[in-house]
Amino acid sequence: MKQTDQVLEPLDRRLLRELQADASLSHAALAERVGASPASVWRRIRALEQAGVLGPTVRLVDPVSVGRGVSVMLHIRLRSHATDQRLDFEAFIKARPEILECHSMSGEWDYLMRIVVSGVADYERFLMREVLNHPNVATSASHFSLAQVKYTTAVPV
């Protein structure tokens, strides 16, 4: 069972803020920053992991540095909303490394995705040969990002 906002103690919140800013900090460095002992920090981090508040530790990669500097927002409308068709489409999406995020949406579009590719030709290939070839995709709308104004993975705590 995940901890809710109401059960997070002030120390937990300080830990979460520090870990979201720099997950490579040692327990000793974290302890110094949040005003606790290293052993207490270790126990609280383990408890937050077990509660599902903290997920895996990862390193963020700069897309431009690895040749994926074009970011596209793609809206998708499905032909059918039957459970098996939706699940098949979502399995397809989860298997595509170009798709960094996919959200099931309310409103006019069924899904919104953030896709990173090397260029417009790469995106055209991906869209035409992969996405639009999926049997449950009815239509799509693409929006190219001109500049990233804000990007964060930090959740306010």
**Domains in the chain: how many in total?**
2
State the average pLDDT over residues 74-98: 98
Residue 103 lies in a domain: yes
In this structure, the answer to whether residues 19 and 68 fall within a common structural domain is: no
In this structure, the answer to whether residues 90 and 114 fall within a common structural domain is: yes
State the average pLDDT over residues 116-135: 98
121 C-beta neighbours (distance < 10 Å), count: 10
* Distance, CA of 12 to CA of 7 (rounded, Å): 9
In this structure, the answer to whether residues 84 and 12 fall within a common structural domain is: no
In this structure, the answer to whether residues 42 and 113 fall within a common structural domain is: no
- Domain residues for the domain of 93 are 64-144
Residue 68 lies in a domain: yes
Q: What integer pLDDT is reported at residue 4 of this predicted model?
A: 53
Query: Cα-atom radius of gyration of the chain, to the nearest Å?
Result: 20
Residue 156 lies in a domain: no
Q: List pLDDT tens digits, range 1-20.
A: 454 556 899 999 999 999 99
Q: What is the CATH number of the domain that holds 30?
A: 1.10.10.10
Residue 44 lies in a domain: yes
State the average pLDDT over residues 36-40: 97
